[in-house]
Structure 1
């Protein structure tokens, strides 16, 4: 398995597997690498070239043309190895100690909520499509006068302009109801976020006469997969957000704990949770558009989403989106279908005024649209609708077509995908502390 291969790589290139190559020198001692360059024994995290090489190799980057060789080990301290470093400048604050490698080789800080750290941890050890891929070069230039290496890290990142893959939901779960998995009815969806938990809407926890949700089917490679290809897990425990009150649309969120640990592979990978670090101007949903792809007028960049409550005002949704939407090579009205008709539909984040106008107070929303706990997105002209829109399905983003971040969970909408009525979602960022307290209660 890919995971097993990655573990081998970590052992092969990690400093902790090199006990036989110690120089038996204490920290601060002079040392030499390959008996050529003079260096100094310093802790790993003080040597920029060493720690960056270590981080990138552990993240799957093994091309020696991109990375220098690993330095020799002087000795070990309680907090890690002491290496023979030939850098011109040593770190005084261990700034790389809390660093990690994100998709496409981007160096990021691990500081943040538990969910962010888990996201980075998953990327390091699971076979995401862009694991170990990216335009990365760590250069060491020898400065003769100073007898040391000047270190430069170059990471080139291209965002946008990439077509969606045929199937972009390795984290998607179908939720089943019934006495047996074979006879179950699959009525809702959810998102795999850890080895034991699936995120969905609270209303998906019960299907009336069919009872509570009992099964989760994972490893879906198309919208019409045959059951024999599914990997089905029994649901052990249902945890509904404590503030949810049926049939209210507020706090419409739940966590499902599986009976056994979910086995990750190339077809099943967890999604990240939105913690406010990403641009969410344009997002993606899975849908079966009402229009044939040949009928889609992709040349149109206008937005003709209107609401009955905003027509009276001279404010149009088109003006709002024009102000809110950042320039992006991927147009929100572009869709790509796979062989089964399932499409990735791009949707635009709408201004809260538009959302409030579309969702005024009624029986299910006593106070109307709540921007703190909800969000709404709209489909551009002729961009197809998302009336596949199954409750509990994810609203997601991904800059690199690799590791997806869930920003919303599908709730109820009166006319899904209909131009003029934006779709409403539960805002994940607001609920991250609650999710963390259940999914990763013991993590720092």
Structure 2
């Protein structure tokens, strides 16, 4: 109890006891009968005792410190991650190029100077208005800024403002952006004037023409080049002299090339841009291109024309306003050796005229599209009024490389025509057509395409006798041509549009001297093509039978030992080709680019596809009514319509097909990618199946087994009527063939980089043998060693140029699409 009391006291009055303790300790000796005195208690001593009892680095404190450390680490990591995400989002920028016309501000010359006070003032006002529009929109948290690139005059008065919009968002959320959505925000902010019933509305005090508002997604490189942060190969031109030509040339040898040239003329005039020569890589506009815009920014909806292949003939293009943008792009400038061009200022033209034809039959004058021979601009309109002196004389129009047909519910890609209140669509072809209007008074209006510039049109006009459009003894083609009646249903397409051979049943060649010269392969072929059999008279095909000959069904022996199922009818009764499921036809030893003429009938599955009467692509016969071709041949609303397509089978020389059928149906693979040409395959169904009577000239090629393995170095053949040289302007009239070899897939990938498992390469690495433009969709035929049958291993798809060293042709790998083919053509199973 005494000790407990003393402890309590010590706790309560430590300072007092401390003083006492010090005094006691200072006395010498020990007191009798007493315990040894406690050690003096000082203020420093208890701390030592506490350290001994609970050291700082005990387990509890370590846990606390470790928890605090983890918390600080987590906060730091979260902060760094947040900063990284913010930094990543800043790189995912979306750019939109746009323009609109302000009607209540007049143009000043100072606006051409980007550093002038006048330009900066207008640009600041426009930017403030656009900023207000988008910071109060649904995209406000992604919107960053607007930049005015140009302020220019225009032919409608006021100011034409070109600007950029910049949005920033995570890449994963980029799908929420759409051009129409971004443009709709701007258009919805313009209050259209109802009182004046005009398209001019108010946008925060700016009078904006609604019809002039255009907005498209753009590229970062274009944004950098046009706003001045990365000018590079870019220049601004201002022209005001009508009689001068302003040269524009580009020549480079290394590095990446991106050029922007802004061309501006005085208000009230137009710009004609003429290209003399372009040496640019042909690649379907994926990388290299020369593009002409009807604006000062690369706005896709204002494209006038795009050139994506070498050109050596003069082409000129006209703007719809007093400004134009020309861009040159190439990822490797060494591919682009030079561009020569010039531009000039021209006045606007009115395409309107009244024509009085003479009292004579025949063609006497010409009319043409606006600004002929330049490509005519979009949205143009022409009006002609023709009048003949007599009511018995109608108006005849001879179109050069052009034709018109009655307009359907679909739009017209190459202009629409209104002739005496009847609507027609125009289309281009490689021959002349004649259109006759049975009226002495004809009103014609041409409405140009609303999308791109189009080829110049030249039309001859004259009068004709309405009661006798064609001379006696002649046949009138649907295009207006007159041909001798004897040429109707003779197996030869004399009308160009093939109307003389329609509804003729099986096409048979005319049995006369000229026809035999044209179709010499039909004589002594074992099939009576002429009714009187004269093509098979005096044919000495029978020889003694032995082990070196083949015995036909009528006991006639022929010299060929392996005639069975070789694709050629050698027996007079055709027994050597009976029971053959698909062709075993063999080409001749004569051997497209680096190829030679084939022998007629050597490739009986080869098909030529004609679009509006002109050869366009190739295909392969796989059954009585189905063909196999490439999807890219039918890419686009116009090309995907089967109506203008005809299939020419059993053809050797263009225009001499043994069987022609309209196309009933086109089935393009649902996964076809027009940018990479992946899944480049399509099926075509014929409206009329080819007759069994022509099986000696038309035979299907075998479809490979699913997943067929091919080996590099294997020899195959590519055939078609395409160009024989990369610089050719037109294809070959005679079917060509070239032997190529399959290229290792790894080597193919290293060459192109974008080769998928649905593609294969074939050619000659040294070049000089390849498919080319016009061969697309045609077959890559390989002969199977086991049974000698020909297999459709590939379909001509794409390539880097034609016959270039180290750049073989790329083909669709048919074996990867066997189930897809069987889905539509189950008869092949």
The structure with more radius of gyration? 2
Query: TM-score, with normalisation over the residues of structure 1?
Result: 0.47
Q: Which has the higher contact order (CA 8 A, sep 6+)?
A: 1
